């Protein structure tokens, strides 16, 4: 799905990843679910590119529904994959998912998300055999020159990526516009967070970014301003993500 001439989305509102093109080369931001790989060639063709033009896969964090086809890209095409250093062990499958719980759950939404994920290969996701890392902040030397904004809480190494080249802030799960477990629509702290309170506190790290597109890993693209999205997520708070009481 084309969002702008050099910016495409792969997947849908349930799970999304993004393609950024610059000077004939492409960066994939997140790798969704394994079955998305079968759609990748067509999406690249719509950009006038091929899989040989993909120079990097950059992960916003190490959760399974974001590493989807990344290992296939690395094994089959030699595409380097990179993630924040604090999530490298998670992406390699060396540590368990640090999530504190699913948060607010509506049975139909949760089942719908799980069934969709299974149909798209969630049960056969391969963790990363090799992954390079970046640290807290700085600009990555990949097409689109995304600037890293470390915003922990969803995972320790969760980041947003600001690419001025495509006027986009790719937030991964720093916030979402769809609660996949609840069906809740609008900017909010994403479910499956390791520390929902820290995730809420981290929103200040992206609040001042100016970008026409705010692109989440779950939910529709947001075009009403980053600060507006942050304010809406803060207003929602973390009550719907509170840890279960013992």
The pLDDT of residue 241 is: 58
What stretch of H or E contains 88?
Answer: helix 88-91
Percent of the chain with pLDDT over 70: 97
Q: How far, in Å, CA of 138 to CA of 220, rounded? A: 27
The pLDDT of residue 137 is: 77
For the segment 15-29, what is each residue's pLDDT rounded down to a tens digit? 999 999 999 999 999
Q: How far, in Å, CA of 82 to CA of 194, rounded? A: 21
Band of pLDDT at residue 228, cut at 50, 70 and 90:
very high
The pLDDT of residue 18 is: 98
Q: How far, in Å, CA of 33 to CA of 109, rounded? A: 18
Compute CA distances 152 → 85, 175, 202, 203, 228, whole Å: 12, 11, 6, 9, 20
Mean pLDDT, to the nearest integer, of 130-141? 91
Pairing of β 54-58 and β 16-22: unpaired
Mean pLDDT, to the nearest integer, of 115-139? 92
Mean pLDDT, to the nearest integer, of 191-205? 95
C-alpha distance across the termini of the chain, in Å: 44
* Position 36 pLDDT exceeds 80: yes
Band of pLDDT at residue 246, cut at 50, 70 and 90:
very low
Contact present, 198 and 205 (Cβ < 8 Å): no
Contact present, 119 and 128 (Cβ < 8 Å): no
Q: How far, in Å, CA of 184 to CA of 204, rounded? A: 22
The pLDDT of residue 239 is: 62
Domains present along the chain, CATH in parentheses: 2-96+103-123+131-241 (3.60.15.10)
Q: What are the residues whose beta carbons fall under 8 Å from the beta carbon of 149, sequence distance 6 or more?
A: 137, 159, 160, 161, 162, 205, 206, 209
Q: How far, in Å, CA of 229 to CA of 213, rounded? A: 11
Mean pLDDT, to the nearest integer, of 107-131? 94
Buried b (16+ CB within 10 A) or exposed e, 137-155: eeebebbbbbbbbbbbbbb
The pLDDT of residue 157 is: 96
The pLDDT of residue 103 is: 74
Residue that has been written with the tokens 């990949």 in this structure: 142
Instruction: Give the residue with greater pLDDT, 223 vs 103.
Output: 223
Mean pLDDT, to the nearest integer, of 166-186? 96
Band of pLDDT at residue 243, cut at 50, 70 and 90:
very low
The pLDDT of residue 218 is: 97
* Position 95 pLDDT exceeds 90: yes
The pLDDT of residue 97 is: 86
Number of other residues whose CB lies within 10 A of the CB of residue 52: 11
Band of pLDDT at residue 14, cut at 50, 70 and 90:
very high
Compute CA distances 185 → 98, 114, 189, 225, whole Å: 25, 18, 11, 17
Query: What are residue 148's DSSP bridge partners?
Result: 138, 161
């Amino acid at each position: 799905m084309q969002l702008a001439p050099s910016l495409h989305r792969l997947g849908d509102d349930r799970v999304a990843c993004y393609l950024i093109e610059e000077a004939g080369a492409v960066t994939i931001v997140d790798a969704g679910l394994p079955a998305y790989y079968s759609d990748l060639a067509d999406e690249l063709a719509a950009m006038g590119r091929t899989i040989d033009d993909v120079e990097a896969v950059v992960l916003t964090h190490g959760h399974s529904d974001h590493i989807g086809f990344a290992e296939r890209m690395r094994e089959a095409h030699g595409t380097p994959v990179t993630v924040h250093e604090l999530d490298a062990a998670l992406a390699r499958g060396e540590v368990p998912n640090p999530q504190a719980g699913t948060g607010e759950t509506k049975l139909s939404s949760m089942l719908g998300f799980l069934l969709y994920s299974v149909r798209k290969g969630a049960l056969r996701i391969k963790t990363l055999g090799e992954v390079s890392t970046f640290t807290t902040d700085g600009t990555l030397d990949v097409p689109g020159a995304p600037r890293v904004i470390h915003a922990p809480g969803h995972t320790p190494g969760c980041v947003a990526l600001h690419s001025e080249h495509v006027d986009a802030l790719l937030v991964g799960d720093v916030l979402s516009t769809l609660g996949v477990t609840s069906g809740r629509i609008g900017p909010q702290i994403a479910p499956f967070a390791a520390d929902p309170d820290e995730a809420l506190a981290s929103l200040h790290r992206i609040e001042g970014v100016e970008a026409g597109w705010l692109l989440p890993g779950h939910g529709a693209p947001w075009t009403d301003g980053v600060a507006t999205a942050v304010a809406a997520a803060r207003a929602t708070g973390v009550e719907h993500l509170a840890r279960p009481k013992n």
